[in-house]
Structure 1
Amino acid sequence: MTTAASMPVPFPFSAIAGQPHLRQALLLAAVDPGLGGVLIEGPRGTAKTTAARALAELLPGAPFVTLPLGASLESLVGTLDLGQALAGHELKFAPGLLARANGGVLYVDEINLLPDALIDSLLDAAASGVNVVERDGISHRHAARFVLVGTMNPEEGTLRPQLLDRFGLCVQLRNIEDAAERQAIVRARLAFDVDPQGFRAKHAEAEAALAAALVKARAIVADASALPYGDDVHEAVGALCIASQVDGLRADLVMLRSARALAAWEGAAAITADHVQRVAEAVLLHRRKPEAEGAASASASASAPVASNTQRAPKSSGTGQNNAGDQDWGAMPPEPVGIERVKPLRPLISSQTAQQALPKKA
């Protein structure tokens, strides 16, 4: 008889150092799960999994569910319970991972390697808070309100722009290059590995304060009449999105909701343009057009000619470099070439002449 091993205790969220943008994005998504989740880009060993596990502990009674890389669509959204159907001739819904993650954190490592169908279902449920299943003679829906945290290493490929845009926030992590900061992070991790419970006890007060602040901020966001804002907030959002040349209006909506979540987290009386500025980068990082990343000002970007299609050609620079990264260096645009119709050549000899020219057998 084997005994199931207990899950290791998570690292305290309040003790995570060196990643302030990651901490803020995760807290905003926890305040308002309807933002659509957080996509974390970065190399290995930058506290992506550690931060996601620690966030789930701040939410009261929240489960932490991990989506395996080889999971099927049925295991994610749920399907027909074949055992019940065969035994009692009864159609019964078997819940999937989305149902298990309700009220908690759904963590997807290397999300860029998943099939598009799974990512679509994940993002639909993360944005709406409801999972709808219509298959195998079953029409079923259930609550699926969770914080979606997806990670990926850009060296292994990225997501299609259509899927990137549906993530609410995006954080790009980099390796810590400050020697003192690296030493502090390593010391904290070693102290946790030696005595996890003792380390957590030192941060228990800070963890309780974060958990209480999350409960309070969630209640403020749930109140539709709370946190008013004026035209200056709308103008700030519009100017930032136009300067980044984003497609559609999803960025505007997510930026307003993120600013509202930040104001609720800080206990502000109203949403201000400062809140918008502080959440803008996480909203625009994965939506910004490549040509908008240059040194052009917001007014110049807004007045630039826009092509009728969604794929804009990258601007050429004097050095011949392509900032978009999706075209070869020195590539020339295609030019039309005149084509003259050529008549087919007649055979030099006819088939009858060819047969007569063959040597006869003796």
Structure 2
Amino acid sequence: MTSFPFTAILGQNELRRCLLLCAVDPAISGVLAFGDRGTGKSTTVRALGQLLSSAGLPLPVVDLPLGATEDRVLGALDIEHALRGEICFRPGLLAQADGGFLYIDEVNLLDDYIVDLLLDVAASGINRVERDGVSHVHPARFVLVGSGNPEEGELRPQLEDRFGLATHVSTITELPARLEIVRRRLAFDADASAFAARFAEEERLLASRVIEARERLDTVHLPEEILDRCVELCVEARAVGHRADIVLTRTARAAAAFAGRSAVTRADVAAAAVPTLRHRTPREPLERATAPAARVKLAAARVLGLRAA
């Protein structure tokens, strides 16, 4: 089945960039996309999976449905083998997502018990299953991607903090852009293969850019002065916890690698500031969804002397 091309998606620039940076450095650990219904969040995530797969990158995108059972998530005894007297482990979604992306649509509606399981595995990078006569351990390091509508409920703070980056997705109001979105969707529904062929070269070039950035990442220099600014910015923005400092540094370095630079700049830090810190700063009651981002931008301007992107 052909997914909508990643490069054909209009708008949602921050979401698309966050996903690409996580593809460059999976240690950023994830993207949370909250916002209006029907804004293409799920389409964008699945399009990324197709983009990476077409380039041969070992980064699978695995869906975790809201109704998934513990056995389906963690893995369990393989019943077919058990009927033959064999003890065999049947891998779950976490095993399938190892080394790739685990995507949860409407993540704020996920059962609390499944959330607890995810938190345990995300913290250790290892899934341990001890039940029904099965004892199995396997690596489970994945980029956690969640989307949802905040009107349907808040996300538990412990889970929210596990997402390295967060973005607010809003409805596009510009008439030309909305018209083009409709045209592209209708063309895709009419002939998905022909529509995908229109963007094949753009997809190839973007995938190549991701691959090159992944190869460059470890050689990107992080000047001590830039590291100082990252930590200072987290303090200025009143970020909760120390994960913010680490994720901000990683995201800025991934941004430099994606841009083809050999060293991280203040501009990279400014661009990484909002998605890294907007969900880690203290919130005021009943404030607008855009308020945390505005505060982070002001903090970045004071610390970096630049305008945060």
TM-score tier (shorter): 0.7 to 0.9
Paired with 1:277 and 1:133, the residues of 2 have a C-alpha distance of 42
Contact map agreement 2:5 2:51 (CA 8 A) in 1: no
What SS does the corresponding residue of 2:262 show, helix, strand or coil?
coil
Cα displacement (A) at 1:165: 1.1
Structure 1 residue aligned with 2:74:
77
Which runs of at least 4 in structure 1 moved beyond 6 Å after TM superposition? Answer: 294-297
Amino acid at match of 1:154: P
Match status 1:270 vs 2:263: yes
What SS does the corresponding residue of 1:108 show, helix, strand or coil?
strand
Look at both structures and tell me which one has the larger radius of gyration over its CA atoms.
1
Higher relative contact order (CA 8 A, sep 6+): 2
| Deviations 1:33-79, CA, capped at 9 Å, x for gaps | 22221111011111111101110012226543221111112210112
Find the partner of 1:96 among 92, 111, 136.
92
Match status 1:132 vs 2:128: yes
List runs of 5+ in structure 2 lacking aligned partners: 285-290, 304-309
Cα displacement (A) at 1:151: 0.7
Contact map agreement 1:34 1:128 (CA 8 A) in 2: no
Structure 1 residue aligned with 2:107:
111
Structure 1 residue aligned with 2:44:
51
As a proportion of its length, which structure holds more helix? 2
Contact map agreement 1:171 1:282 (CA 8 A) in 2: yes
Contact map agreement 2:145 2:163 (CA 8 A) in 1: no
Cα displacement (A) at 1:135: 3.6
Cα displacement (A) at 1:16: 0.9
Structure 1 residue aligned with 2:191:
195
Paired with 1:18 and 1:183, the residues of 2 have a C-alpha distance of 12
Match status 1:157 vs 2:150: no
| Deviations 1:1-56, CA, capped at 9 Å, x for gaps | xxxxxx3x101101111111011011011112222211110111111111011100
Pairs within 5 Å for 1:1-362: 7=1, 9-59=2-52, 60=56, 62-88=59-85, 90-126=86-122, 129-221=125-217, 223=218, 226-290=219-283, 293=292, 298=299
The change in CA–CA distance for 1:128 and 1:29 in structure 2 (over 3 A counts) is: farther
TM-score (norm 2): 0.85
Paired with 1:209 and 1:128, the residues of 2 have a C-alpha distance of 35
The change in CA–CA distance for 1:295 and 1:147 in structure 2 (over 3 A counts) is: closer
Paired with 1:184 and 1:31, the residues of 2 have a C-alpha distance of 29
Paired with 2:121 and 2:51, the residues of 1 have a C-alpha distance of 22
Structure 2 residue aligned with 1:318:
none
The change in CA–CA distance for 1:276 and 1:239 in structure 2 (over 3 A counts) is: same
| Deviations 1:140-183, CA, capped at 9 Å, x for gaps | 22233433221110000011222211111111011111112211
What SS does the corresponding residue of 1:133 show, helix, strand or coil?
strand
The change in CA–CA distance for 1:298 and 1:271 in structure 2 (over 3 A counts) is: closer
Paired with 1:127 and 1:279, the residues of 2 have a C-alpha distance of 23
Paired with 2:87 and 2:138, the residues of 1 have a C-alpha distance of 16
Cα displacement (A) at 1:124: 4.8
Cα displacement (A) at 1:267: 1.4
Cα displacement (A) at 1:129: 4.5
Q: CA RMSD in A?
A: 2.5
Contact map agreement 1:68 1:108 (CA 8 A) in 2: yes
Contact map agreement 1:169 1:282 (CA 8 A) in 2: yes
Paired with 1:122 and 1:155, the residues of 2 have a C-alpha distance of 23
The change in CA–CA distance for 1:10 and 1:295 in structure 2 (over 3 A counts) is: closer
What SS does the corresponding residue of 1:38 show, helix, strand or coil?
strand
Cα displacement (A) at 1:290: 1.6
Report how many aligned residue pairs link the two structures.
Answer: 290
Paired with 1:139 and 1:72, the residues of 2 have a C-alpha distance of 19
Cα displacement (A) at 1:125: 4.2
Paired with 2:46 and 2:72, the residues of 1 have a C-alpha distance of 21
More displaced 10-residue stretch of structure 1: 53-62 or 249-258: 53-62
Contact map agreement 1:123 1:167 (CA 8 A) in 2: no
More displaced 10-residue stretch of structure 1: 262-271 or 145-154: 145-154
TM-score (norm 1): 0.73
Paired with 2:69 and 2:78, the residues of 1 have a C-alpha distance of 15
| Deviations 1:220-255, CA, capped at 9 Å, x for gaps | 33x3xx112122212221222112222220111111
Cα displacement (A) at 1:256: 0.8
